[in-house]
Amino acid sequence: MILLGAGVLAWLATWVVPKGFFSGAEGAFSLADFQLAERSPAPFFGDGDSTGFLDFLFDGLVSGDAYGATVGLMAFLLSVGGAFGVVSRTKALEKALIGFLAQKQRLAATAVPVLFVVFSLAGAIFGMGEEAIVFVVVMTPAFLRAGFDRITPVVTAYVGTQVGFATSWMNPFSVVVAQGIAEVPVMSGWGLRLVMWAVFTGLGALVAWRYAKSIRKEPSAIVDDDPIAEGGLSVGHWSVITTVLLGIAWIAWGVGAKQYYFPEISTQFLAIGLAAGIIGTLFRLEGMTANDAAEAFAGGAKDLVPAVLIIGAAKGVVLLLGGDDPSAPSVLNTWLHGMGVATEELPPTLSAVGMLGIQSLINLVVVSGSGQAALTMPLMAPLADLNGVSRQVAVLAFQLGDGLTNIVCPASAALMGSLAAAKVTWGAWFSFIIRPLLGGLALAVGFILVAVLIGYS
């Protein structure tokens, strides 16, 4: 509904705002190169040469090619979603975490930071979000019996995933999407991001540990037939986990050594999913059959269809405005010029921090990471060029703004589901998390400033 409203506003804007373009050399345009063109309202029905209001979704869905937005990006997301669906169907990763809990039946407070790091890795590598709800459901009874309160499992599982999501060096659903739209090499700049992940995760684990230690009471008796301890990791489960780890290493090698992009990375994820499906079928993990693997792939892809539609709609909004080519007349270029003039006196550091603030606010409304990237990066990437900020920094501002505010955003299904699973009200959660969140945002500003000062690209 938000994007439909954006489409209406974009269509109306073409009737009011004149289109503009930058006449400078490609990749080197400046504010001085801007020129106004004639106002040309977008039609209600598309005519083949221009996007109309009623076909902005279709045009958005079919734009681009295999190496960029939107077709390549959407195919990438569906492939990755399907592969993760198969891996998830084997329950290997879930059982590994539950097994850890079963071994720590008394759950000494030291187990909390360990689990926080594990969930942060899941958020960084797999983009775990809504899946945290399942673990909150499983962990809450165990944490309560171990003497902790209901907030502790939410901090450990949900906040852990979001810290990893916000600071990831390879998240396929945020970093890769934003870099693809901003025309930045996929998974580039991973060094600083890896350091950032380690710092944020370490501090987050420390906060979780101190809180858990401060509120823990004498644990109640743990019965031997605790349901979370049922079942263990078989050879098949370990085979799936090993396959995933080796697959991630393969992807890292391909991106770094071979400059793999959407088509190649999609193929690698598909190989991981196929291998997990074969292992799951051979070992009958969770009673898995070949048909179950196929259904899991379809289900995983289906889960990302809303994100794909959001990306297509967001691209359609850009096309309604005339497209994102700086040298072609568009309303987007006129807005870009206006924002550039308004901020041209600001140093690059303040411009970058402003991008972080804008992305944080937008995330309170557009909670989809890939959708927010599709909606904001066509404007933020060229604005970064105008303000002397690298596009890599613009992507960094996006991922930090997108991920960190998920921790408190009431529109986030993952947050509200996790709170519901632990029976914690949003008000109680806000009172607890607001100070750590403000500290995290301050740390994010610090990393943005460092990125600008070192010429991060």
pLDDT tens column, 315-331? 899 899 998 888 889 99
pLDDT of residue 227: 43
Distance of alpha carbon 183 from alpha carbon 12, whole angstroms: 29
Q: Is 361 exposed, middle or buried (0-12, 13-18, 19+ CB in 10 A)?
A: exposed
Distance of alpha carbon 375 from alpha carbon 234, whole angstroms: 44
pLDDT of residue 312: 87
What's the one-letter identity of residue 441? L
Q: What single string gives the DSSP state of each residue in 118-154?
A: HHHHHHHHH---TTHHHHHHHHHHHHHHTT--SHHHI
pLDDT of residue 315: 87
What's the one-letter identity of residue 347? P
Tokens of 93: 């990763």
CA angle 366/372/373 to nearest 5° reads: 175
Q: At how many degrees (to 10) do helices 305-320 and 71-89 cross?
A: 170
Contact call for residues 296 and 90 (beta carbons, < 8 A): no
Contact call for residues 69 and 374 (beta carbons, < 8 A): yes
Tokens of 160: 């852990």
Which residue from 393, 371, 372, 373 is spatially nearest to 384, judged by alpha carbons?
393
Contact call for residues 133 and 154 (beta carbons, < 8 A): no
Count Cα neighbours of 229 within 13 Å in the Cβ-side half-sphere.
Answer: 11
**What is each CA distance from 128 to 61, 112, 214, in whole angstroms?**
25, 18, 28
What's the one-letter identity of residue 305? V
Which residue from 339, 373, 391 is spatially nearest to 20, judged by alpha carbons?
339
Beta strands (DSSP E) in 219-297 are none
For the chain, how far is it from start to end, CA to CA, in angstroms? 35
pLDDT of residue 221: 42
| pLDDT tens readout for residues 185-200 | 988 999 999 999 999 9
Dihedral angle over CA of 87, 93, 98, 103, nearest 10: 140
Residue with tokens 């979370």: 228
Coil, strand or helix: which one is 20?
Answer: strand
Tokens of 185: 């090499």
> Residue 35 forms beta bridges with which residues?
21
How much is the mean pLDDT over the chain? 87
Which residue from 367, 373, 303 is spatially nearest to 83, judged by alpha carbons?
303
pLDDT of residue 154: 95
pLDDT of residue 250: 92
Contact call for residues 40 and 14 (beta carbons, < 8 A): yes
Q: At how many degrees (to 10) do helices 71-89 and 290-303 cross?
A: 130
pLDDT of residue 158: 95
Distance of alpha carbon 347 from alpha carbon 167, whole angstroms: 24
Distance of alpha carbon 73 from alpha carbon 183, whole angstroms: 12
Measured in whole angstroms, the distance separating CA 187 from the mean position of its chain's CA atoms is 13
Q: What single string gives the DSSP state of each residue in 396-427?
A: HHHHHHHHHGGGT-TT-HHHHHHHHHHT--HH
pLDDT of residue 26: 61
Low-confidence ranges of the chain (pLDDT < 70): 25-29, 97-109, 218-232
Distance of alpha carbon 439 from alpha carbon 249, whole angstroms: 32
Contact call for residues 158 and 418 (beta carbons, < 8 A): yes
pLDDT of residue 226: 44
Contact call for residues 444 and 404 (beta carbons, < 8 A): yes
pLDDT of residue 219: 59
Q: Using a pLDDT cut of 70, give the percent of the chain over it.
A: 93
pLDDT of residue 77: 84
Contact call for residues 130 and 85 (beta carbons, < 8 A): no
Q: Is 329 exposed, middle or buried (0-12, 13-18, 19+ CB in 10 A)?
A: buried
pLDDT of residue 228: 41
